[in-house]
Structure 1
Amino acid sequence: MPERGDRRLFSQLAWFVGLWLAGVLVTAAVAYGLRLWLL
């Protein structure tokens, strides 16, 4: 039972980190694109 719970927690943590990284990359890409477009 404990290892199953840990695996679920790890899965949720991986999802959270993945979504956060995707958000950071998208934000960086948009900011970079806007900078190139404006300047």
Structure 2
Amino acid sequence: MRDIIEGPPEPGAPRPPLWKRLAWFIGLAVSASAVTAVVAYAMKALLPDYPHG
């Protein structure tokens, strides 16, 4: 059976292409920002609504 979690690359193994590494970075950054926004809006929704003024 194939391992679910891969170990670190072997020493001297070729690095993945730049486009693939950038795609992972951008994907992680966008999803982290989206999750942060969702949590922030959810927390804001839990706050009581005080009248302004």
The one-letter code matched in structure 2 to 1:18 is G
Task: Give the number of aligned pairs.
Answer: 34
User: What's the TM-score, normalizing by structure 1?
Assistant: 0.77
Q: What do residues 1-39 of structure 1 show as CA deviations (whole Å, max 9, x unaligned)?
A: xxxx7x710000000000000000000000000000113
Q: Which runs of 5+ in 2 are unaligned?
A: 1-14, 49-53
* Structure 1 equivalent of residue 23 of structure 2: 14
Runs of 4+ in 1 over 6 A off after TM superposition: none
Compare CA radii of gyration and give the structure with the larger one. 2
User: What's the TM-score, normalizing by structure 2?
Assistant: 0.58
Question: Which of 21, 24, 28 is the equivalent residue of 2:33?
Answer: 24
* Percentage identity across paired residues of the two chains: 41
